[in-house]
Amino acid sequence: MVWEQGSVVIVMLTKLTENADAMCHRYWPEEGSDLYHIYEVHLVSEHIWCDDYLVRSFYLKNLQTNETRTVTQFHFLSWLDLSIPTSVKVLLDFRR
């Protein structure tokens, strides 16, 4: 879907796991590159801005066309399942 829609930004509002329950599938490698069907995803960087959010950068390569795109993921970590963020300020800082 990211490739088909030409997305260059992904906003993720959940952790991968919470209380040992899977909340979201990891669709990027922890380091280096991984293959997902006809796409290669390469983790370029991961910047932890604070305890509440981080930013990742990926190269996404279509192995059929050899076209490569850069995708940035903004990952908010402080919004627990079935709850609301603990602070409006944290959410507003993330938005900026």
One-letter amino acid identity for 62?
A: N
Convert the pLDDT of each residue in 10-19 to its tens digit: 998 887 777 7
Domain range summary for the chain, segments of one domain joined by +: 2-95
Compute the distance between CA of residue 84 and CA of residue 43 in angstroms, rounded to an integer: 30
pLDDT tier, 92 (very low <50, low <70, confident <90, very high otherwise): low
Secondary structure element (H or E) that encloses residue 94, with its range: helix 88-95
β-partners of residue 58 are 43, 71
Homologous superfamily of domain range 2-95: Protein tyrosine phosphatase superfamily (3.90.190.10)
Other residues' Cβ atoms within 10 Å of the Cβ of residue 52? 19
Considering only CA atoms, which of 73, 46, 82, 43 is closest in space to residue 59?
A: 43
Q: What is the predicted pLDDT for the residue at 85?
A: 72
Secondary structure element (H or E) that encloses residue 92, with its range: helix 88-95
Convert the pLDDT of each residue in 54-83 to its tens digit: 999 999 999 999 999 999 999 988 877 667
